[in-house]
Amino acid sequence: MVNSLIQEQSKRILFRVSYLVSVSMVRQFSWKYRREHSTQFPFVCDICRHTKGRFKTLKDKENHDKMTSRHNRNFKTMAMASGSIDSIRDETDLEKFIRDHVQTDDAFRRVCKGVIKNVSDILKNNIEGKYRPDEVLKTGSTAKGTAIKGKSDVDLVFLLSSSQYQSVDQLQNDLQAILVYIRDALIPFTQYRNAQVHQRAVSFEIACKEPGTGYGHLINVDILPAVNFGYFADIRSIHTQMRGTSEEKRNLYTPSLTKWQREFVKRHRTEQLKKLIRFVKYWKNVSIQTSPSSFALELLVIHLWSQDGSPVHFKLPNALKKVMETIAVPDRIRVEFVGEYYNKEFQQRYAVPYIIDPVNPYSNEAAKCRWDEISQAAITFLQKPLMRSATSKFV
């Protein structure tokens, strides 16, 4: 008995040593470098996705995955708490799965809302002078009502003083200094982890715990400085300014458009549609190693829903089959929202597939997706029992 315990302990020590050696070998590059060079590091941790740990080979990732339970013994992540999509066989199962494993509840949303408000207050109250913001605007999945359990993204748009910054040229000149000021304002608050300055944003993570269950939820936050064009600005005049600029400068306009982007997703979107969006995002997170743009999938779902008459009520399996069949053949994806916030005057030419941001005619969200991988995952999903009896129409 004693010998067997010693042998088992020795195995554990040897595994731990080999794991640490492998980590020291694969961590020649920082997590930031790996995120920015995802094609070099295509494999992502299955469980602790919030670390954004990326690996060059499948073996490196598998070694990492074996130790994920030790990352934080008191913090249960989405994948550890979730069920299996394979268990879903009919509409009742799907509704229950979304309720239990995908959508967040009211109490949890209040916790996250409070955390984000605290960050906004810190930025407004701890940055003085020229860089003090007029407003900190919350966008992203948490603001749009499409966040899923375990992980969500928030973009906090740091609207600069309209008296100090009237143009994107001024923002471009001071951008790096502004980003450093934002990061430094967060440093004293240790709960905001890994605050880093990037080319156009400051990013960090916030950990929340779901009331009652203790399940953990990570919010990835990007803070993006932007020119405050005002709530009554004509968005088409902004598009006109963007027309003659470089792609680099257009990217600096983008955060200024996010209030319209948020309104687009929230406006007239039924709870049933949000359920569908949340499940598609959840499926993407658990099925695909190199995650595509969640916003692209949101827009695709909204487009397909609109094509079928924007029904208030529809059967989720039918709608899901329509979405999966569309994703399975990406060279047929042509999504534009001309007439919503821009007209044909600003329409651009894009190679297929394309999913154009409804408030920014110069942004093709489909370009941020790895369609070979996501289409194969959709083809696999279409073979599941849930899809066999479903039709390809929302209603």
What whole-number distance in Å separates Cα of residue 195 and Cα of residue 205?
8
Query: What kind and span of H or E run contains 156?
Result: strand 151-160
**Environment class of 376 (CB within 10 Å of its CB; exposed 0-12, middle 13-18, buried 19+):** middle
Three-class secondary structure of residue 393 per DSSP: coil
Q: Which of 251, 231, 255, 221 is nearest to 142 (CA)?
A: 221
Please choose, from the candidates 223, 269, 214, 226, the residue with its C-alpha nearest in 3D space to the C-alpha of residue 250.
Answer: 226
Q: Are 143 and 210 in contact (CB under 8 A)?
A: no
Q: Which of 322, 262, 253 is nearest to 142 (CA)?
A: 262
pTM of the shown model: 0.77
Helix, strand, or coil here: 135?
strand
Pure H helices in the chain: 2-26, 31-36, 58-66, 78-81, 91-97, 106-126, 141-144, 168-186, 235-243, 247-253, 258-266, 271-287, 294-307, 316-328, 371-381, 385-388
User: Given this chain, do its domains 106-259 and 268-388 carry the same CATH topology?
Assistant: no
Task: Choose among 213, 374, 210: nearest CA to 283.
Answer: 374
Task: Identify the pLDDT of residue 32.
Answer: 57
106-259: CATH superfamily: Beta Polymerase, domain 2 (3.30.460.10)
**pLDDT for res 292:** 57
Q: How many other β-carbons are positioned within 10 Å of the β-carbon of residue 271?
A: 10
What are the structural domain ranges in the chain?
A: 2-71, 106-259, 268-388
pLDDT of residue 46: 46
Give the pLDDT of residue 50.
39
CA-CA-CA-CA dihedral for 274, 275, 280, 286, to nearest 10: 130
Of the CA atoms within 13 Å of residue 71, those in its CB half-sphere come to: 20
Q: Position of tokens 């156009």?
A: 200
CB 285 within 8 Å of CB 291: yes
* Amino acid (one-letter) located at 43: F
Residues 6 or more apart whose CB falls under 8 angstroms from that of 319 comprise 276, 304, 305, 394
How far apart (Å, rounded) are the C-alpha atoms in residues 324 and 387?
Answer: 10
Q: Tell me, what's the pLDDT at 75?
A: 35
- Asked if residue 56 lies in contact with residue 26, where contact means CB atoms within 8 angstroms, the answer is yes
Question: Average pLDDT for consecutive 10-residue bins of the chain (395 residues)?
Answer: 49 42 45 62 54 63 50 38 77 94 81 83 90 90 83 86 94 96 88 85 83 72 92 88 92 92 85 94 84 84 95 95 97 94 91 95 91 93 94 89
Q: Which residues pair with 137 in a beta bridge?
A: 157
The whole-angstrom separation of Cα 206 and Cα 217 is: 8
Longest Cα–Cα distance of the chain, Å, equals: 80
User: How do the residues of the chain divide into helix, strand and coil, expressed in percent and rounded to 5?
Assistant: 55, 15, 35
CATH code, residues 268-388: 1.10.1410.20
